[in-house]
Structure 1
Amino acid sequence: MSGKTRAFFTFTTLLCLTTLLAGCAGQKAGTKSSVVDYLYPNIEQKTITPSIPKLKLPLKVGIAFVPESSDKDYGYNEWTSKRYDGSLQETVKMELLSKVAQQFKQLDYVQTIEIIPSAYLTPGGGFNNLAQIKTMYEVDVVALVAYDQVQFTHEGLSSLSYWTIVGAYVVKGEKNDTNTMMDTVVVDIDSQKMLFRAPGISRVKGTATPVNQSEQLKADSEQGFDLATSDMITNLHTQLAMFEQDIQNNNKTVEVSYKPGYSSSSGTIHVVLLILAYALVRRKRVV
């Protein structure tokens, strides 16, 4: 083999290896859904003016994941020829919704909580779709759950950029990161008014060899969703307690009335119990 041939062969080999490794290092996989995209698909064409919510207690609450975005980042492992993304299976969604539903079931002012399958929500369906769900499930308000998860194996790639109903949320990623955001937005269907929201975030720092990368990313994805859901539920508990006090005070943000057989006295007792429980927890922490 001549010197020129050997040099050309060496250059070609290095170029192929560099391209291959760069392809593996630069992989990014992600999946997301957005409450904003679901509720306001044509926001630039229409001005929406919510009215004051008129809540009749106890409430019937629906809870559902908003449709997943069709804009995904698919990862591809060059070593194993496996294509992957972080899409949530319906069974996993139902498990996560059940955890969130438990927070509502504990509330005196909630009569029922209905877990709504994803198939009943249409992409960009907005409040017209929610009106259909209101008729089908006889719910008053709905808790819409969205998520954004990005996994990548290259430093410097922008990671998670999620536009929430109250503004942008951006997290810069690093190598082998799995960044996840969960977001629950509770909406009164009739008034088209957001009552409150509760976000949750997580970051899983993983390690993976090129061969087991797909399996490790899948495990990190599941852990990321679980941790973000736990964080969201903690924030949801706080928001529900604050909202309950708003109901008891019957402030200007909502108008409250009561269905036959229900009064505000039981709700007041529930607020007192929440305050006592919070005081006990703080006391234990101090001790």
Structure 2
Amino acid sequence: MNFWNIFKLILLLIATIILTTGCGIQTKQHRSSSVVQYLYPDRQNHVEVPGIPRLALPLRVGIAFVPENSVKSQALTETDKMDLMKEVSHHFKKYDFVKSIELIPSAYLRNDGGFGNLDQIRTMYGIDVITLLSYDQTQFTDEGLASITYWTIIGAYIIPGEKNDTHTMVDATVYDILSRKMLFRAPGTNHIKSNATPVNLTEKLRKDSLESFKVASSDLIKNLDTQLQLFKEKIKEAPEDYQITHRPGYTGGGSLDASFIILLTLLGGYGLWTKKKRKH
């Protein structure tokens, strides 16, 4: 075998290695925070039994992000979280039955803090209800044959070669703190597909991550209205499961008007009376 044939064989082997390994280079980044893990860290040995919520209108609402599952893989900075919480708070502010909204920094929520931690936050901020925000985001990078080919022939600086998928879910879970009762929840989702060169891959993934969070949060905010309406219907159907009261000076209005509150109060009293009558 002459030198030229040996050289061609070596080139063929190199090309085969590049093609077979380059087609399957895949990476996945997963970041998340869990309401279940935060509220029920010891759920196998202890289960919280929710009571009947006593909702005093207008409500004092808190908004907070639950801690990430891993500090090393945080997807959002504290500034990012505050910006998203402000978007959610703007949505709540238009309702007359909301008296005040507190944006609670992440430092006040402990990992696996549970309802004991929420009791501390309730005392500290004077809130009744809390909206816990959590998220789950996966970024999948598939470095395929095109990127390897363009890298070796044309150059990765010129031709996009990384195919990126970003999947994001943001979830808002609303709890009455004293009763431990979940009132309702609203999810928001987003999926982004984009391209980037290996040189700017990290920057592009970061931009996709934040953009996906923003779009998912917008989807969440749209769903809040729907879930609120469903919550109102649920109260009408089972008024004995909720106790509605007024703070001094509050006469009702907005989405939960005075006549609606009076009706709930009467129905709630009737439901409790019928329950007592059945026992006798």
* 2:172 matches 1:184: yes
Gaps of 5+ in 2: 144-162, 261-280
Q: Secondary structure at the match of 1:113?
A: strand
- 1:66 to partner: Cα distance: 0.4
Q: State which structure, 1 or 2, has the greater radius of gyration over its C-alpha atoms.
A: 2
Alignment of 1:269-284 (within 5 A): none
User: 1:221 maps to which residue?
Assistant: 209
Q: Distance in 1 between matches of 2:98 and 2:243?
A: 16
Whether the 8 Å CA contact 1:86–1:221 is kept in 2: the answer is no
* 2:120 matches 1:139: no
**Paired letter, 2:257:** T
Whether the 8 Å CA contact 1:31–1:150 is kept in 2: the answer is yes
Q: Secondary structure at the match of 1:153?
A: strand
Alignment of 1:21-100 (within 5 A): 21=22, 25-70=25-70, 87-100=75-88
Gaps of 5+ in 1: 73-84, 156-174, 272-287
- 1:110 to partner: Cα distance: 0.9
Q: Distance in 1 between matches of 2:259 and 2:205?
A: 43
TM-score by length of 2: 0.76
CA gap 1:185/1:263 in 2 versus in 1, 3 angstroms: same
User: 2:227 maps to which residue?
Assistant: 239
Q: Distance in 2 between matches of 1:229 and 1:265?
A: 27
Q: Distance in 2 between matches of 1:244 and 1:108?
A: 15
**Paired letter, 1:93:** K
Whether the 8 Å CA contact 1:29–1:86 is kept in 2: the answer is no
Q: Distance in 2 between matches of 1:211 and 1:270?
A: 62
Off by >4 Å, runs of 4+ in structure 1:
1-10, 16-19, 244-250
**Paired letter, 2:172:** T
TM-score by length of 1: 0.74
Greater share of helix residues, 1 or 2? 2
Q: Distance in 2 between matches of 1:138 and 1:7?
A: 76
Range with greater deviation from structure 2 (45-54 or 124-133): 45-54
- 1:11 to partner: Cα distance: 3.8
Q: State the aligned residue count.
A: 238
Deviations 1:21-46 (A, max 9, x none): 367x3111121111111111111111
User: 1:268 maps to which residue?
Assistant: 257
- 1:259 to partner: Cα distance: 1.2
User: 2:185 maps to which residue?
Assistant: 197
Q: Distance in 1 between matches of 2:245 and 2:258?
A: 18
